[in-house]
Chain A
Amino acid sequence: MDLLDILLSATFWAAVIRIASPLIFATLGELICERAGVLNLGIEGIMVIGAFAGWMAVYLGTGLWVGVGVAMLAGMLFGLLHATLTVPFGLSQHVVGLGVTLLATATASFAYRLSLPEVTSPPKITPFQPWEIPVLSDIPLLGPALFSQTALTYLAFILVIVVSLILYRTPLGLALRAAGENPASVEAQGLSVTAIRMGAVIVGSGLMAIGGAFLTMSAFSSFFFEMVNGRGWICIALVVFGAWRPGKALLGALLFAGFDALQVRLQQTPMGAVVPYQVFLMVPYVLSILALILMSRRAEVPAALMVPFNKGER
């Protein structure tokens, strides 16, 4: 298999879309938080707790969509913690975010050990199955890649449009963006900066958790420690790459997923026999860093990102 064969295979493109899906959820979540002015470094841990909570709920007998709901709720809970500490209390967003990541990751491990003390390999659930969209899925190459995915993947792509519409076409989106640019403008127009920012962090954290749940409920069928494996940090980079815009962030997620899917396949080519596999593993990260450097030079950072707002401070 050479590069051209890979790029012309439907399974490659299907893999790109699949790998991108969790990144899309979590990137949108982070983007919402940052647009409101809060950097959420809890993302990595919130993805872990989402992966665990959704999978565990389904294992205990709920339906798949209920599992997604449970994952989202778990994420929102940690979002509430993050928001309470960073917004009304105005604590350092770096410290709180890393703390939330450690706490959420540890909580998932703890709950796992507590609920499954005797198990050596984690039990499997029946994950979301591919949902072939009639007619569209018959298109050659494009059909199997885009229209034979699971419902969660479709949801991810729909959410990109929904989040864009909310951000740019509704009063709520206007207030959210203003809170991240100049919270005083929100306050002076009679709105509550605290409510908007807390709401954004809680909802954004819910989306991050769904991104985690995608891993256990759609991509795989089981929960492993380390399965999130830095995807949260990648999403933070993707927000910057996307210049805080949902559409561009989607592009970034697809790009990263593309490199990731490519490197796995390149390992199986004759080249893979010579070059150590670690080099291939490195490829998506190196290329992402390069793309990030090129793309983020002219990005407009929300001006009040990481700046706490205290009403009535002088």
Chain B
Amino acid sequence: MVGREGAEVVLRLDGITKRFGPLVANNAISFDLKKGEVIALLGENGAGKTTLMNILFGHYTADEGAVEVFGQPLPPGHPRAALAAGVGMVHQHFTLADNMTVLENILLGTGSLLSNRLNARAAKAKVQKLSADFGLSVHPDAKVGTLSVGERQRVEILKALYRDARILILDEPTAVLTPQETTALFDTLRKAVALGLSIIFISHKLNEVMAISSRVLVLRHGKLVGEVATSDTDRHKLAEMMVGAEITAPKLAERAPGAALMTLSGIRTAPRGNAPGLAGVDLTLRAGQIIGLAGVSGNGQSALADLIGGLEVPTSGQMELHPARSGDWSPRAALAAGIARIPEDRHKTGTVADFSLTENAVLESYENAPYSRKGWMDWSAAEGFARKIIETYDVRCPGPGAAIRLLSGGNMQKLILGRALEAGPKIILANQPVRGLDIGAVTFVHNRLIAARDAGAAVLLISEDLDEVMALSDVIHVIYEGHLSPAFPRGSKTPAELGVWMAGQGFEGGADAA
């Protein structure tokens, strides 16, 4: 796919600059897209990839620069103009109306608003043909609200194809997909390219960029810092271009595990909706040890996390803390026992969006000195704590008084990490601690967890990313349907062997017994 030097240029960006207040989101970015190629736009969160594409599609207006499509200048600021010129965009956050059918969503805005009739029958035939041609199976009359995430994405792609888009922009399309859905998406994209479409693929996942693109453009802090043919590079080089520094994998020094801090024996919890509860779990968390919990999402990870975090009480089984504590098990009791939590969903349960960094920093400790005395908050002490976290954990933010929703996911997570670790916890519950973070932030979080382990904390790392579990854990358990596998010491199993356990094989009586 490389070396399409002679191919027609279908899209040209020339010196695009966009500022949001003092922040330069895009700094004089120029590049060409040729017919029938896939270029990957690679960059960390906040590098300016989405902003650039939103300018191209007309959601934003650039402060400087121009866009040309098929040799014609594209009027800025109008999605209608971009659509008419043959540019289609698959947004990261789907732009679909849930209460309408697939067909209605595709038809929206395609004809004159004042025509007296929806030409639904002809449209349906066209949608069905496109579905078949591109391998995008989805029922045209299904309500969008009932579709899975993967199906919704197919609707988004169909929307663009229905309008005869020649250039497809996909913004982080795989972020919400399962591996199988990602494979299907790539098949669709290859078919589109074979039919002469050109594609811009936005991602921060290196293996996907390597798999699908012919050329990679790397954005960092709003600037285009590199452009390489995919065949001339590899994941490691791309990662370094993206971060702008050498990347070192986390190193886990050998360390003998310490005393048991928490012992679970025969724990069962109630099932929740479709997800199973714990079905007789035995687990011991030891000082100075990272226990990794691998497994496909929805196999009881949340139940285990909520149990240890104090949100859930077992229906049967023994739960012992060392040294022992009495009283009811609750989030407050968990905090008092020195359990620090990094919750799975940092927006919903980790932070309060409209609260300031200071307020979020003391969410778990506001009742205690020095943040409150005799029932009165001491905000200067709280702010001091927030400042300490901001400095120690390199949280990039306007200041401790800013609302936390203004922060990127990575910086939000660093604040949560700081809040958890600064309390000097004995046990750290890290549930999906790096989900959605870019490489720099991932490395940071991992190194901090390892440092906490080296300092004698017990860490329970729950992750759907097997690579992460294998890189970080002293001991690995696989969770399946609420059952835990035996403990596998570090390095004793290959990813393929663990994958078999994740699929339910090997549990007592096989998958069916579980």
Residues of A within 8 A of B (CB): 169-172, 174-175, 177-178, 181-182, 184-191, 300, 302-303, 311-312, 314
Residue interface bits B146-162, CB-to-A below 8 A is 1, else 0:
00000000000001000
Cβ contact within 8 Å between B115 and A184? no
Q: A171-B107, A175-B113 are in contact. List 7 more A-B contacts (CB 8 A).
A: A170-B116, A177-B100, A185-B97, A188-B89, A189-B79, A190-B80, A303-B99
Cβ contact within 8 Å between A185 and B118? no
B51 to chain A, nearest CB (A): 8
Cβ contact within 8 Å between A181 and B99? yes
Alpha-carbon separation in the docked complex, A174 to B97 (Å) = 10
A175 to chain B, nearest CB (A): 6
Give chain B residues whose Cβ lies under 8 Å from the Cβ of A175: 108-109, 113
Cβ contact within 8 Å between A174 and B93? no
A167 to chain B, nearest CB (A): 11
A198 to chain B, nearest CB (A): 14
Cβ contact within 8 Å between A189 and B113? no
Cβ contact within 8 Å between A186 and B115? no
Give chain B residues whose Cβ lies under 8 Å from the Cβ of A302: 99
User: Which single residue of chain B is at the shortest CB-CB distance from A189?
Assistant: B109
Q: Lowest 8 CB-CB distances: which A-B pairs, in order?
A: A190-B80, A189-B109, A188-B95, A181-B97, A184-B95, A178-B97, A185-B95, A191-B109
Cβ contact within 8 Å between B113 and A182? no
Residue A190 contacts which of B20, B54, B83, B107 (CB distance < 8 angstroms)? B83
Cβ contact within 8 Å between B79 and A174? no
Interface centre among B78, B95, B98, B159 (most CB of A within 10 A): B95
Residues of B within 8 A of A (CB): 20, 51, 54, 57, 59-61, 78-84, 89, 91, 93, 95-100, 104-105, 107-118, 159
Alpha-carbon separation in the docked complex, A219 to B378 (Å) = 65
B157 to chain A, nearest CB (A): 13
Give chain B residues whose Cβ lies under 8 Å from the Cβ of A311: 59
Alpha-carbon separation in the docked complex, A184 to B171 (Å) = 15
B170 to chain A, nearest CB (A): 14
Alpha-carbon separation in the docked complex, A184 to B100 (Å) = 14
Give chain A residues whose Cβ lies under 8 Å from the Cβ of B59: 187, 311-312
Give chain B residues whose Cβ lies under 8 Å from the Cβ of A178: 97, 100, 104-105, 108
Cβ contact within 8 Å between A189 and B159? yes
Cβ contact within 8 Å between B118 and A170? yes
A191 in contact with B113 given A184-B91, A186-B108, A312-B61 (CB within 8 Å) = yes
Give chain A residues whose Cβ lies under 8 Å from the Cβ of B99: 177, 181, 300, 302-303
Cβ contact within 8 Å between B80 and A303? no
Give chain A residues whose Cβ lies under 8 Å from the Cβ of B60: 312
Q: List 14 A-B contacts (CB under 8 A).
A: A170-B118, A171-B109, A171-B113, A174-B107, A181-B99, A184-B93, A185-B97, A187-B59, A187-B79, A189-B83, A190-B78, A190-B109, A300-B99, A312-B61
B154 to chain A, nearest CB (A): 15
A250 to chain B, nearest CB (A): 20
Give chain B residues whose Cβ lies under 8 Å from the Cβ of A303: 97-99
Alpha-carbon separation in the docked complex, A181 to B143 (Å) = 13
Cβ contact within 8 Å between A169 and B118? yes
Cβ contact within 8 Å between B118 and A186? no
Give chain A residues whose Cβ lies under 8 Å from the Cβ of B104: 174, 178
Interface centre among A170, A182, A186, A302 (most CB of B within 10 A): A182
Alpha-carbon separation in the docked complex, A185 to B61 (Å) = 19
Alpha-carbon separation in the docked complex, A191 to B83 (Å) = 11
Alpha-carbon separation in the docked complex, A303 to B79 (Å) = 23
Alpha-carbon separation in the docked complex, A189 to B83 (Å) = 8
User: Which single residue of chain B is at the shortest CB-CB distance from A168?
Assistant: B118
Residue A189 contacts which of B20, B61, B81, B110 (CB distance < 8 angstroms)? B110
User: Which single residue of chain A is at the shortest CB-CB distance from B78?
Assistant: A190
Give chain A residues whose Cβ lies under 8 Å from the Cβ of B51: 314
Alpha-carbon separation in the docked complex, A185 to B59 (Å) = 12
User: Which single residue of chain B is at the shortest CB-CB distance from A166?
Assistant: B116
Alpha-carbon separation in the docked complex, A311 to B54 (Å) = 11
A309 to chain B, nearest CB (A): 12
User: Which single residue of chain A is at the shortest CB-CB distance from B25?
Assistant: A314
A172 to chain B, nearest CB (A): 5
Interface centre among B57, B91, B108, B159 (most CB of A within 10 A): B108
A245 to chain B, nearest CB (A): 11
User: Which single residue of chain A is at the shortest CB-CB distance from B109?
Assistant: A189
